[in-house]
A and B are shown apart, each in its own frame.
Chain A
Amino acid sequence: MAQMTMIQAITDAMRVELKNDENVLVFGEDVGQNGGVFRATEGLQDEFGEDRVFDTPLAESGIGGLAIGLALQGYRPVPEIQFFGFVYEVIDSISGQMARMRYRSGGHHTAPITVRAPFGGGVHTPEMHADSLEGLMAQQPGLKVVIPSTPYEAKGLLISAIRDNDPVIFLEHMKLYRSFRGEVPEGEYTVEIGKADVKKEGNDVTLIAYGAMVHACLKAAEELEKDGISAEVIDLRTVSPIDYDTVLESVKKTSRVVVVQEAQRQAGVAANVVAEIQERAILHLEAPVLRVAAADTVYPFSDAEEVWLPNHQDIIEKVNTVINF
């Protein structure tokens, strides 16, 4: 099996679907000859032609509108937003339009659109490029929000997203793009949207995360193991809708939970997970469910981001709190 980085797996997923379905179109700023600023679309225009893989003018709302219009002509658009920090420019097209298309038309029109974007921090970008805005998207009914943490899942989930008949926001953590390689099967396969994955089994505490924080949890779990604490690590993979069956099964087993997100603490996905756990499994809990999250500031300039971003030590600290409660 091929060893790929996450970004190679993402390119491969688009290649598979461009080949598989002539209605798939890939477009965005610099995605054509340049192959995207992160090279996610590298080689795709050469392979599939400018009719299928093309540059857009530099305007995010226009890209969103273009995707909607193309979907109305039966296409399956895969637009790229160059950095998810620029999503504010296209919020109406995403939340006001795509997410409402099926309901607004009583099922007459749909928006089978996959909006791809790099997100998350830790790679020293200029302001507005890095942020974790998945909570903003998860609050919008009508959208699915998918965040892979490994190359294998990135490819399988992206293929599922492109085939989905509803809009999917597909967020690719910038720090994971090239930080490691993983096994990725050739050709087509899917990973189901809306299904969490137990990345490591354990008995004493459940760590719930997604994206880059899955790896911080795995690192924390490794260190905790040395102290005799067995942590289970759940990768949500989809933050809307969330797979509570997998979450609750683990919570009932371990009775102790820490939810981890790279995003700021206020509102957000982790808060939602904590709320659902206490509503559905409070009698199984031996300690309050704690969160690891960033401070409630705007995303910092790059010089401060290493300290600002949650890490495995923050996770270990919270695990010790719930264990010793």
Chain B
Amino acid sequence: MKYVLDNVESQFEMFQILNEDGKIVNKNSMPDLSDEELKELMRRMVYTRILDQRSIALNRQGRLGFYAPTAGQEASQLGSQFALEKEDFILPGYRDVPQLIWQGLPLYQAFLFSKGHFHGNQFPDDLHALSPQIIIGAQYVQAAGVALGIKKRGKKNVAITYTGDGGTSQGDFYEGINFAGAYKAPAIFIVQNNRFAISVPVEKQTNAKTLAQKSVAAGIEGIQVDGMDVLAVYAATQAARERAINGDGPTLIETLTYRFGPHTMSGDDPTRYRTEDMDNEWEKRDPLVRFRKFLESKKLWTEEDENKVIEEAKEDIKQAIKQAEQQPKQKVTDLIGNMFEELPSNLQEQMEIYKEKESK
């Protein structure tokens, strides 16, 4: 009998362009980005790191609600988003708010999503995306559908969706990649492997050595990428996008990353399942530090640039939280009114009851 597992797993070596010292180790794969674009990538990562810090603080002050910290995952999130076109469709998981913001979601609406206000999800018409999915993996099957729709419409676009390492254990993960594969639909499936599904380490999640190899079963392209290297993530997503719009089908991209913070701000304590050594080990791979070193070596980034972004982010956040807080409180009548195009009689009756209650 012939066993194949070792052969399969050995094919999924991590793709990297910048090493931890910010040095290019894979010159041939260096994406074709202008200096301005490289600086923009850095600007977005710094901005998003500040947004994360401020969101955590605002959550602690009770001014934001549900929040899933993003620090550590900027390269995975923003490197992949940077490869998208405006008409591409994003199906994010709950930690993937930064991609929506950089694709055009106004910051105050991101805050409203956190505060549990439906206006946060009333996206601008030119933002092609769903609001963050809460059910793990549900967005994967939907992404197959969006991608098939894009293909049927003959558009040169992709559907891109995100889940985590835990998400790859869901049936919907496999159904999503398999459907997209069967229809050769233009989908990009990103798995941000941050090593923990809340507290369960990836080693307990699966016997697979890589998550990228799960693509093999569905017969689609797969790659494991250094998720702390923004250039590698960008290059992989860009290549996947090219394949997809050329009709070559979907790609599964596993990004190896780490969330520096807790799972969410709702009482998770990472010290219960992670060691300080592990945290320190991964902080050395901080995507911002690495990319900053690279840009500094090319004389593209200065402390002044950095401070300018920090100030800009802080100011935007201040304005956005103010705007979010000025939003009128969501009413039950809003909720009733958004259940159906036309209200059935039971809801009409309940609408009257709540109109009365809310007028007091």
Contact = CB atoms under 8 A, between A and B. Distances in A.
Given A57-B179, A105-B123, A142 B141 contact: no
A223 B11 CA distance: 74
B176 A102 contact: no
Interface in A233-261: 241-245
Nearest to A102: B338
**Interface magnitude class on chain A:** 35 or more
Contacts of B122: 105-108
B114 to A, nearest CB: 15
A69 B189 CA distance: 14
A141 interface: yes
A67 B345 CA distance: 28
A16 interface: no
A75 B138 contact: no
Given A75-B152, A104-B121, A245-B345, A61 B141 contact: yes
A73 B145 CA distance: 9
B62 interface: no
Contact of B178 (A62, A75, A144, A241): A62
Nearest to A165: B341
A186 B150 CA distance: 34
A182 interface: no
B121 A66 contact: no
Interface string A104-116: 1111111000000
B159 A106 contact: no
Given A66-B145, A73-B152, A241-B346, A107 B179 contact: no
Contacts of A164: 341
Contact of A92 (B135, B159, B344): B135
Contact of B118 (A70, A106, A243): A106
B172 A66 contact: no
A113 to B, nearest CB: 10
Interface in B30-84: none
B340 A102 contact: yes
Contacts of B145: 65-73
Contact of A59 (B135, B150, B178): B178
B340 A62 contact: no
Interface of A: 51, 56-57, 59, 61-62, 64-75, 92-93, 96-97, 102-110, 141-142, 144, 164-166, 194, 241-245
Given A72-B149, A73-B149, 8 more contacts: A62-B179, A65-B138, A72-B130, A73-B146, A92-B138, A92-B172, A93-B141, A242-B346
11 contacts: A61-B172, A65-B172, A65-B176, A66-B179, A69-B148, A72-B130, A73-B150, A102-B340, A103-B339, A108-B122, A194-B345
Closest 8 CB pairs of A and B: A69-B145, A65-B141, A73-B149, A241-B344, A62-B175, A106-B122, A69-B146, A66-B145
